[in-house]
């Protein structure tokens, strides 16, 4: 006790008394001092200083500036109404970076410069001695470090040899031929020093803003069960994050670490080496277990991980129920948002996710705008997702999940991928505009009132047993393979690639016709097919116009997105039924109804815009009672 200063004692007394009587407001400013008391007139200088004194109910307000630190919350809130809130001061730009500014570059030749840094500069973590690795990661035959080099905020491309830094394109280039991938770097590290070479071309790195990633995350509690935290209004960027497979601890730029009730809202999250936000599991239930033991299949390892997480307390009372909303997430090379089991019971809404896995220097089985395992009762709604490779990938145990009213386009693999789930999973009122709209290796799905402008693929998985659960619970009810089928398609507008394309393609992915191969019964009714899309052979109440092309496409104008689509009288005249829990019934394996997360019956009685549907004769597709002719609909308008 004799080592505690009078100031520290005073702050502790204030904090403890505040935690009992009233919330405390702490302030952080670049003009502050960590020896201050954190008041508005005497703010702290670092967020990490404020962390030491924050208790349930307190708010930490951070004022304008760049904060280069790793935030490790020591405590959480006590309930949804008594949180610890971390927020950027309203109207002020606050950046939290996993990088440091680097000067002292020495020119070599041809635009290539190098810098030599003592390893002591990096403290307890050196990203240039750490490589990306983990289960289901594909390095394409060479080493990828977790670090990164940035010039004026733009990331470079790492190369496997120094020769490719000097000549990244394999030939001499003129300045007007430069691409982003021509800005390259390479590193070497020994026991004492780390050296980085980078090709800045015409730029002098000592006169520009050059940063390198040095921290493996920006906001992450080292301890488990730090609950009820709100993170609001920051710009997080440039962390040296590690690969986040479902069988390992998942640490993104913002990471929850096996807890409950976080709200992550109104942030900009960019330039993570791997993932932006992770709502994932901890290391105790398994850490890259398949990479460490190839004697059994990876799916068996993951089943073991699931049961270990159950023994460690994976249930609705302790894990998940997060809210991730109104964030702008981009330039992440693995996922925008991912989570293995820790995302259960969460809501992901109104996020703009784009430019995910764009550099493609590595690959693997965990790449998507949103990638969840164990999406039990998860709601993913009203998000804009594009240029991500895969848009949304729900893998294992998506039971009670709902994917609703999302805008998805220009995803070159597919918009939606459902892998080895047993349902029930509801997909409704989405705009699926990429060349491939749906890939499903699952069963117990319902696709309702969507605009499907790309291919549909469905196939079984007879070789993997995956869990299904008691309704609205993490408790495992059983294991089964994927037979294929047990799916529903109601009231969708499905657009093909044209009749000429159909005639030359034997796989018939332009509609629901592929479901003729399903092993389990399917329910397909009330859909409209255009431009060569083909109906399911047992479908009765459908309309088909193979010669009409709605020509649906997206136009981006600033922060707004418009859908231009030609609407004909066919879809307007189509008589449809209102889709409810009673219509959809139960998913076969878990014997669970398509219903709301609280177990109440659901009714799909609003459209993409939230407009109420006609209960007697709702329109087909995502828009209720649209006009005929060429439509120009504003389908996204969110300003940051």
Are 418 and 398 within 8 A, CB to CB?
A: yes
Kindly state the percentage of the chain with pLDDT values over 90.
89
The pLDDT value recorded for residue 507 is 47
- 229-280 pLDDT, tens digit each: 999 999 999 999 999 999 999 999 999 999 999 999 999 999 999 999 999 9
Mean pLDDT in residue range 20-27: 82
- 367-409 pLDDT, tens digit each: 999 999 999 999 999 999 999 999 999 999 999 999 999 999 9
Q: Which of 602, 624, 628, 626 is nearest to 613 (CA)?
A: 624
Cα–Cα distance for residue pair 409/336, rounded to 1 Å: 16
Which is it for strands 592-593 and 629-637: parallel, antiparallel or unpaired?
unpaired
- 552-568 pLDDT, tens digit each: 999 999 999 999 999 98
Are 29 and 66 within 8 A, CB to CB?
A: no
Question: Is the pLDDT at 314 greater than 80, yes or no?
Answer: yes
User: 260-559, superfamily in CATH?
Assistant: Single-stranded right-handed beta-helix, Pectin lyase-like (2.160.20.10)
Cα–Cα distance for residue pair 165/188, rounded to 1 Å: 13
Cα–Cα distance for residue pair 529/13, rounded to 1 Å: 69
Question: Is the pLDDT at 193 greater than 60, yes or no?
Answer: yes
Under the banding of pLDDT at 50, 70 and 90, the label for residue 19 is very low
- 326-354 pLDDT, tens digit each: 999 999 999 999 999 999 999 999 999 99
Q: What is the chain's mean pLDDT, rounded?
A: 93
Domain boundaries, the chain: 6-97, 99-213, 260-559
The pLDDT value recorded for residue 9 is 53
Cα–Cα distance for residue pair 22/59, rounded to 1 Å: 11
Range ranked top by mean pLDDT from 163-177, 496-510, 514-528: 514-528
The pLDDT value recorded for residue 18 is 44
Residues 6+ apart with CB under 8 A from 372: 279, 338, 339, 340, 343, 378, 393, 394, 395, 398
Of 163-172, 310-319, 603-612, which range is least confident? 163-172
The pLDDT value recorded for residue 575 is 74
Question: 283 burial class (0-12, 13-18, 19+ CB within 10 angstroms)?
Answer: middle
- 454-476 pLDDT, tens digit each: 999 999 999 999 999 999 999 99
Which tops the pLDDT comparison, 4 or 54? 54
Place of tokens 């395992």: 373
CATH of region 99-213, choose from 3.50.50.60, 2.60.40.1180, 3.40.50.880, 3.30.1120.80: 2.60.40.1180
The pLDDT value recorded for residue 168 is 82
Mean pLDDT in residue range 295-317: 96
Question: Is the pLDDT at 325 greater than 60, yes or no?
Answer: yes
Of 1-15, 112-126, 354-368, 497-511, which range is least confident? 1-15
Mean pLDDT in residue range 58-79: 98
Q: Considering the entire predicted model, what is its pTM?
A: 0.95
Under the banding of pLDDT at 50, 70 and 90, the label for residue 1 is very low
The pLDDT value recorded for residue 344 is 98
Question: Is the pLDDT at 7 greater than 80, yes or no?
Answer: no
Task: Work out the number of other CB atoms within 10 angstroms of the CB of residue 17.
Answer: 11
The pLDDT value recorded for residue 501 is 47
Task: Work out the number of other CB atoms within 10 angstroms of the CB of residue 463.
Answer: 9
């Amino acid at each position: 006790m004799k080592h505690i200063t009078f100031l520290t004692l005073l702050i502790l007394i204030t904090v403890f008394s505040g935690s009992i009587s009233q919330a405390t407001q702490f302030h952080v400013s670049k003009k502050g001092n960590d020896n201050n008391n954190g008041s508005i007139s005497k703010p702290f200088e670092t967020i990490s200083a404020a962390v030491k004194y924050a208790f349930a109910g307190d708010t930490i307000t951070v004022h304008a500036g760049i904060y280069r630190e790793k935030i490790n919350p020591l405590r959480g809130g006590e309930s949804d109404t008594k949180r610890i809130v971390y927020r950027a001061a309203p109207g002020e730009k606050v950046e939290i970076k996993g990088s440091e500014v680097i000067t002292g570059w020495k020119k070599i030749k041809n635009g290539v410069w190098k810098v030599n840094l003592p390893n002591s500069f990096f403290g307890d973590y050196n990203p240039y001695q750490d490589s990306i690795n983990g289960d289901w990661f594909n390095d394409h035959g060479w080493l990828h470090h977790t670090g990164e080099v940035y010039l004026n905020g733009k990331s470079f491309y790492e190369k496997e040899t120094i020769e490719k830094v000097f000549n990244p394109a394999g030939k001499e280039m003129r300045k007007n031929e430069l691409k982003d991938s021509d800005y390259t770097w390479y590193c070497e590290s020994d026991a004492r020093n780390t050296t980085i070479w980078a090709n800045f071309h015409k730029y002098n790195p000592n006169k520009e803003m050059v940063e390198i990633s040095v921290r493996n995350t920006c906001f992450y509690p080292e301890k488990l069960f730090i609950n009820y935290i709100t993170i609001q209004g920051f710009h997080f960027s440039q962390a040296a994050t590690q690969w986040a497979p479902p069988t390992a601890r998942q640490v993104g730029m913002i990471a929850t670490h096996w807890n409950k009730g976080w709200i992550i809202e109104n942030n900009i999250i960019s330039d993570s080496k791997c993932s932006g936000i992770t709502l994932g599991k901890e290391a105790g239930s398994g850490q890259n277990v398949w990479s460490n033991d190839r004697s059994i299949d990876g799916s068996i390892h993951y089943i073991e991980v699931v049961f270990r997480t159950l023994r460690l307390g994976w249930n609705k009372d302790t894990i998940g129920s997060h809210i991730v909303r109104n964030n702008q997430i981009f330039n992440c090379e693995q996922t925008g948002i991912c989570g293995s089991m820790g995302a259960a019971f969460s809501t992901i809404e109104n996020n703009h996710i784009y430019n995910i896995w764009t550099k493609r220097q590595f690959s693997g089985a965990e790449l998507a705008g949103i990638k969840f395992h164990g999406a039990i009762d998860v709601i993913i709604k009203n998000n804009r997702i594009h240029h991500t490779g895969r848009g949304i990938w729900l893998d294992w145990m998506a039971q009670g999940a709902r994917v609703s009213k999302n805008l998805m386009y220009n995803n070159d693999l597919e918009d939606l991928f459902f892998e080895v789930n047993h349902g029930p999973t509801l997909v409704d009122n989405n705009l699926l505009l990429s060349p491939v709209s749906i890939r499903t290796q699952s069963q117990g799905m319902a696709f309702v009132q969507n605009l499907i402008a790309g291919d549909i693929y469905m196939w079984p998985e007879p070789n993997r047993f995956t869990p299904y659960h008691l309704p609205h619970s993490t408790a495992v009810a059983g294991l089964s393979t994927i037979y294929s089928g047990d799916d529903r398609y109601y009231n969708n507008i499905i657009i093909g690639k044209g009749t000429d394309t159909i005639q030359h393609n034997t796989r018939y992915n332009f509609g629901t016709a592929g479901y003729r191969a399903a092993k389990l019964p399917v329910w397909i009714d009330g859909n409209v097919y255009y431009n060569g899309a083909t109906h399911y052979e047992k479908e009765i109440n459908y309309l088909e116009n193979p010669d009409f092309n709605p020509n649906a496409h997206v136009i981006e104008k600033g922060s707004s997105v418009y859908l231009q689509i030609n609407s004909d009288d066919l879809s307007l005249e189509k008589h449809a039924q209102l889709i409810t829990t009673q219509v959809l019934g139960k998913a076969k394996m878990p014997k669970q109804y398509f219903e709301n997360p609280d177990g109440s019956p659901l009714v799909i009685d609003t459209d993409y815009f939230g407009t109420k549907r006609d209960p007697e004769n709702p329109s087909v597709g995502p828009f209720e009672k649209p006009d005929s002719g060429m439509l120009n609909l504003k389908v996204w308008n969110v300003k940051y």
